[in-house]
A and B are shown apart, each in its own frame.
Chain A
Amino acid sequence: MVTELARAREIAAAVADPELPALTIGELGMVRDVTETADGIEVAITPTYNGCPAMGMIALAIEATLLEAGFSRVAVRIVREPAWTTDWIGAQAREKLRAAGIAPPAPRTAGCLAPAALACPRCGSAETEEIAPFGATACKSLWRCRACREPFEHFKCH
């Protein structure tokens, strides 16, 4: 039998990221902890970026989803330590990113800031080049593939 806390954890982790709707906040590695306190359910999340404008929306979505699922009191706490890293994005989530046309981040190394070439998420070719280091959001850069001629986004390592 699933405990109420485990159910809350599952529901919180399944909330979609507003800027990457293909992924859940659980898959992105943002959910630190779900606990039961005297004040109800507390969900601790780590922001992917200090200035992530989606944090407010994510917190609201967690609260709304849990309230809808029957939990009466819900609080969201922001935890900044340890800092989030793209290394916390799971393997399955990386595949989902690729399927959504976004080249997933490389493992965090010294050189990952400026990758020389990325595999095109559409055709797999390594004949790609960076167009702009910032895209529609700060966490992505813009690339194009010289083989299939398609532009694509890259989730930068962080």
Chain B
Amino acid sequence: MSATIPVAETPLVRFLLGRADDALILGHRLSEWTGHAPILEEELALANIGLDLIGQARALYAFAAEAEGAGHDEDDYAYLRDEGQFRNLLIAERPRGDFADTMVRQALYAIYAEMFWQAASQSTQRELAGFAAKAAKEMAYHVRHAGTWVVRLGDGTAESHARAQAALDRIAPYLDEMFDAEDPSLAGIVPDVPALRPGWDGAVRALLEEAKLSLPDVPFPQRGGRAGRHGETLGHLLATFQHLHRSHPGATW
């Protein structure tokens, strides 16, 4: 079983895959630090944060499999979809870059994800609500960790400040896409995503102020991840990520 699978994407399946893909792809980006983190404690933290995200992805893929009803499982979705079938936000697939890129992206995403899952814990779908309540608590620890680093780097040495600001400038075009609305037919199951924006803006403003960093103006925000229009970088990530599974179907060890 190494051929690409077709997925019957109802709005609910597409929503679940989108959120699962965000977590999987970002979790993979964090896993790339294993063996390369600057200190041992960071190695553990990045691996653990990545593990939280990949764990979230697994649960969300299981929900998607149930909603799709085509007999697919988490591995099918993760390993046997092509780039254009991935529904993740572009922010998740950006390269890990340097430590500042990783931490700035992580803080901006985690603040968003904590708010999103907090709101989703009110979902009318109970298993999703329970998952979301748990995910929000996990994200709170990610916010604390990445936020601490953003302040340390931004309000640190001239070098760390410059690199943190450069990281922020690089990721800024990918922020608006996080607040695009989900399909209106999912109201009640899925939170009102654009409504999260003011709260996120406030939290991010406070963090960046403390870190002495400033969000640049973005003339052309980038979007398209949810529709499967990705940057060059996702294809490279998937080549690494999917190669073993596709070249050696059914391999176990």
A81 contacts across to B, CB distance below 8 A: 126-127, 129-131, 133
Do A83 and B134 contact each other (CB < 8 Å), given the known contacts A113-B140, A138-B48? yes
A52 contacts across to B, CB distance below 8 A: 55
Interface of B (DSSP majority class): helix
Q: Which of A51, A79, A131 contacts B53 (CB 8 A)?
A: A51
A101 in the interface (beta carbon within 8 A): no
Residue pairs across A and B with CB atoms within 8 Å: the count is 81
Interface positions of B (Cβ within 8 A of A): 41, 44-45, 48-49, 51-56, 58-59, 121, 126-127, 129-131, 133-135, 137-138, 140-141, 144-145, 148
A84 in the interface (beta carbon within 8 A): yes
The minimal Cβ–Cβ distance linking B59 to chain A, given in whole angstroms, is 5
Give chain A's interface residue range (CB within 8 Å of chain B). Answer: 20 to 34
CB contacts under 8 Å to B, within A22-54, are: 47, 49-53
| A114→B58 CA distance, assembly (Å) | 28
Candidate in B48, B56, B140 with the most chain A CB atoms within 10 angstroms: B48
Q: Which residue of A lies closest to B44 (CB)?
A: A134
A–B complex contacts, Cβ < 8 Å, 12 sampled: A47-B134, A51-B54, A51-B56, A51-B138, A81-B130, A81-B133, A83-B121, A114-B144, A131-B41, A132-B44, A134-B41, A138-B49
Q: Which of A50, A53, A142 contacts B135 (CB 8 A)?
A: A50
A84 contacts across to B, CB distance below 8 A: 134
